[in-house]
Chains A and B, each alone.
Chain A
Amino acid sequence: AQKITQTQPGMFVQEKEAVTLDCTYDTSDPSYGLFWYKQPSSGEMIFLIYQGSYDQQNATEGRYSLNFQKARKSANLVISASQLGDSAMYFCAMREGLYSGAGSYQLTFGKGTKLSVIP
């Protein structure tokens, strides 16, 4: 079973509008972290936001926020006031076993969502 599922291969959003990118995850480990990365056409991977499994509040970083619904195992990325520069691939990723130390230290990535911002 896939650990990270991003069901939207591609999405369009009007400039200045908000957009939600979906991410669901699968783990039996109580300790994990969820990350979102952005990959523009130039290719580099840019960290956007992090949410820990024990965090009580949803993470926010500027125009990015993470809608964390633990019971539903979802960690959707919300981008407010979209800009043309937000056009990129967006990847959701998970790291397990953070506190136990028994887990691997790798990030497992989803397949990504390609976001296109329309002027």
Chain B
Amino acid sequence: DSGVTQTPKHLITATGQRVTLRCSPRSGDLSVYWYQQSLDQGLQFLIQYYNGEERAKGNILERFSAQQFPDLHSELNLSSLELGDSALYFCASSPWGRGSDEKLFFGSGTQLSVL
């Protein structure tokens, strides 16, 4: 158990809908990352937060947004969903979000299916 909690584990929705994925980082970790894993694109970095502030942005679509709250949990909001958004969405956390050997601890992911 990595200590990173993601809910829900599975989500089935329809095109055009909006969903929210939730992540609780490991105790003490200040940085949260979101990744998308699909068969064709592999693991793609979406966005990183550190202590409530956005730190880095990757291949995140404009339809997607995220935030990190004062209690350090994070939410990833996906709107106007398309079939191609079906993927496994991972949240990861690390203590500081930088550092020579800082490894990321991943949650078990949220499997999103858009029908």
Please report A residues at the B interface, Cβ cutoff 8 Å.
Answer: 31, 33, 35, 37, 42-47, 50, 52, 91, 93, 98-99, 101, 104-112
A–B pairs, 25, beta carbons within 8 Å: A33-B101, A35-B103, A43-B109, A43-B111, A44-B2, A44-B106, A44-B109, A45-B90, A45-B106, A46-B106, A47-B103, A47-B104, A50-B101, A50-B103, A98-B100, A101-B98, A105-B55, A106-B33, A106-B56, A107-B45, A107-B104, A109-B42, A109-B43, A110-B42, A112-B42
Q: Which residues of A contact B97 (CB under 8 A)?
A: 105
Question: Are A99 and B100 within 8 A (Cβ)?
Answer: yes
Contact of B108 among A43, A99, A105, A108 (CB under 8 A): A43
Q: A98-B100, A108-B45 are in contact. Are A44 and B107 (CB under 8 A)?
A: yes
B99 at the interface (CB under 8 A from A): yes
Q: Which residues of A contact B72 (CB under 8 A)?
A: none
Please report B residues at the A interface, Cβ cutoff 8 Å.
Answer: 2, 31, 33, 42-43, 45, 48, 55-56, 58, 88, 90, 92, 97-101, 103-109, 111
Least CB distance, B105 to chain A, in whole angstroms: 7
**Could you tell me the distance between the alpha carbons of A7 and B81 in the complex, rounded to whole angstroms?**
33
Question: Are B58 and A106 within 8 A (Cβ)?
Answer: yes
Q: Which residues of B contact A43 (CB under 8 A)?
A: 88, 108-109, 111
The DSSP consensus for interface residues of chain A is loop
Supply 15 further A-B pairs (C-beta < 8 A) apart from A43-B108, A105-B48: A35-B104, A43-B109, A43-B111, A44-B2, A44-B108, A44-B109, A45-B106, A52-B101, A93-B43, A105-B31, A105-B98, A106-B45, A106-B56, A109-B42, A110-B42
Contact of A98 among B31, B45, B55, B99 (CB under 8 A): B99
Task: Please name the 10 residue pairs, one residue from A and one from B, whose CB atoms are nearest each other, closest first.
Answer: A45-B106, A109-B43, A106-B45, A44-B108, A47-B103, A98-B100, A104-B56, A111-B42, A50-B101, A43-B109
Q: Which residues of B contact A33 (CB under 8 A)?
A: 100-101
**Could you tell me the distance between the alpha carbons of A106 and B50 in the complex, rounded to whole angstroms?**
12
**Could you tell me the distance between the alpha carbons of A8 and B27 in the complex, rounded to whole angstroms?**
36
**Could you tell me the distance between the alpha carbons of A44 and B109 in the complex, rounded to whole angstroms?**
7
